Amino acid sequence: MKNILRNTILIAFAMLLFATVNTKSQGLSFELVSVDDLVNVDPGQTAPKAYAVIKNIAGESKSIKVKIGKSDMHPDHVVGYCWGLCYQPSVEDIDSPDSITLEPGASSGEEDFDLLLAPADWMDGVTEIKEGTSVFHIEFYDVNNPLDNLRFDITFVVKGTGVEDGQPKMTVTITPAIPNPTSGMVTLNYTIPAVVASAVLNIYDVNGNMIESVNVSSGDNSYNFDTSALATGKYFYGITVEGQASDMKSFVVAG
């Protein structure tokens, strides 16, 4: 019964994640170089961060500010950020007072922009972040032309303890899907501890619908999944072992 409940919880927060994570647009002047768009937070982990790097692809220098929307932030979470200067966690939407100027062809530094997830009651000295999912809507924009912007989402998934009856947490490792993007067969590689008799691999679409659920064995293994009948877009997968959910990974089905 405990396992069924935990699987239900996993599916519930996955639906919230999948319904919001796929928002992304590229501005006329900006390109997204890299981003930690999905951050899995382990139980007890404090001060998790996500980073993003952007590039000025215009032919002139750009002064850039950032907005952070929090409409899909978990009520037990708050977030701080750095852009130019660093700011303490808050619950309000953000429009940065500071701008960073990028010359043509230049990229922001690897640590110029970050999000810092914190518990809502951090000012009371609390450091443990409660289980739940928060999605933050990021928008970098040209100070002189706010319609010239770059938008994407960053998601934090804070997992529960995953420990029952004093048993230790099972460590499941999932490596990136190959190939990614794909238009046919995709290989999902994973490692499950040998002490586990069986586990379940679940694959979801962006609406949170489970499109595949299969029992998988322990050890270093892989699962070949045929995507040829799927619509183009982003898909997510994870492994559940005895009610404990692994970190999620994603792959893209190309047209």
**Tens-digit pLDDT profile for residues 227-243:** 999 998 888 888 888 76
Please check the confidence at residue 245 and state whether its pLDDT lies above 80.
Answer: no
- Distance between the two ends of the chain, CA-based, in angstroms? 41
Q: What are phi and psi of 13, to 5 degrees?
A: -75, -25
Q: Which two tokens stand for residue 114?
A: 């970050």
Closest C-alpha among 155, 161, 90, 154 to residue 129: 161
Rounded to whole angstroms, the Cα distance separating 41 from 247 reads 9
Helix (H), strand (E), coil (C) string for the chain: CHHHHHHHHHHHHHHHHHHHCCCEECCCCEEEEEECCEEEECCCCCCCEEEEEEEECCCCCEEEEEEEEEEECCCCEEEEEEECEEEEEECCCEECCCCEEECCCCECCCCCEEEEEEECCHHHCCCCCCCEEEEEEEEEEECCEEEEEEEEEEEEEECCCCCCCCCCCCCCEECCCECCCECCEEEEEEEECCCCCCEEEEEECCCCCEEEEEEECCEEEEEEEECCCCCCEEEEEEEEECCEECCCEEEEECC
Quick: pLDDT tens for 145-200: 999 999 998 989 887 655 444 455 567 888 889 999 999 999 999 988 888 877 89
pLDDT at residue 99, as a whole number: 95
CB 122 within 8 A of CB 78: yes
Please check the confidence at residue 123 and state whether its pLDDT lies above 80.
Answer: yes
Range with lowest mean pLDDT among 53-57, 83-87, 104-108: 83-87
Instruction: Kindly report the pTM of this predicted structure.
Output: 0.63
Four-CA torsion 190, 193, 195, 198, nearest 10 degrees: -20
Report all structural domains of the chain as residue ranges with CATH numbers, in order of start: 23-158 (2.60.40.10), 170-253 (2.60.40.1930)
More confident residue, 50 or 4: 50
Quick: pLDDT tens for 16-42: 344 333 445 566 899 999 999 888 888
Q: What are phi and psi of 12, to 5 degrees?
A: -65, -50
pLDDT at residue 27, as a whole number: 64
Top mean-pLDDT range of 78-82, 133-137, 151-155, 237-241: 78-82
Task: Give the CA distances from residue 55 to residues 26, 63, 152, 220, in Å, rounded to whole numbers and listed in that order.
Answer: 11, 12, 14, 38
